[in-house]
Amino acid sequence: MARRLLLPALVLGAATMAACTPTYPKCETDEHCKEHNEVCFNGTCQECGSDANCKAGFTCRDTKCVPKPECTSNADCSRGFKCQSEKCVPECAVDTDCAQGLRCKDGQCAAQPECVDDGQCGEGRMCSGERCVEDPNARQACELQTIRFDFNEYSLTAGARRVLDANAECLRSRGGGSVTLAGHADERGTEEYNLHLGERRANSVKKYLSALGVPESRLRTVSYGEERPVNRGQNEEAWSENRRVELAE
């Protein structure tokens, strides 16, 4: 008789225990943690078990909702910044923070300066903005020389070519300004003939300068024939001075 009464009592006790809610913070479902605004995670009520349990701008870390980090790698930061302790900070504070050959400038790793003073740049160049650039004052150091021609000739003599070699170097150092090549002749011959002769002389100079690397786009030719003599004498000395091409910027 006692054995019959014991069995129903055990069944009733087990059913009663199954219906009991686990004592906080123990849990089986999220319902058991609802009163504390928590979720059930691994059998214990916690603030979160995943990021989905946290509000916007927060992440779940060690079952706690914490603000999302500004970054987790350098790729999360803008140019010139790096990720350090989950915050984007300037990529350098001193030169040793940068790779070899770079220096720290305004919090960013930048190339070493090409120069810090004019003495580190070549002749005719100056230091500006830590770079070697053409010195505008040095461009005036060279002068363009006049080219002379033999009587009734527009071909270049050996002496004329040497002068043009120096002129070409001068023009290259001066940059991209335009140059006028003015052809002249002495008074002998007709006015029309001398205009053509002056033009041929100017074109000979243009062709030679172009071959030396002066862009044709910089070279403009014009002929004045016998109209503008530099020496009005009527002898070979005067005529040789008037047979010329003048270069002017």
* Cα–Cα distance for residue pair 245/182, rounded to 1 Å: 5
- Residue recorded with tokens 């199954």: 18
Whole-number pLDDT of residue 173? 79
CA distance 16 to 2: 21
Superfamily of domain 143-248: OmpA-like domain (3.30.1330.60)
Range of lowest pLDDT (98-102, 210-214, 232-236): 98-102
- Rounded average pLDDT over 79-101: 89
How high is the pLDDT of residue 196? Answer: 98
Segment 215-229, tens digit of pLDDT: 999 999 999 999 999
pLDDT tens digits, 125-184: 889 888 888 777 665 567 899 999 999 999 999 999 999 999 999 998 777 789 999 999
pLDDT at 14 over 50: no
Give the DSSP letter string of 160-207: HHHHHHHHHHHHHHH-S--EEEEEE--SSS-HHHHHHHHHHHHHHHHH
Sign of CA dihedral 42, 47, 49, 52: positive
Cβ atoms of 87 and 72 within 8 Å: the answer is no
Span 207-216, average pLDDT: 94
CB atoms within 10 A of CB 182: 20
For the chain, where do the domains classified as CATH 3.30.1330.60 start and end? 143-248
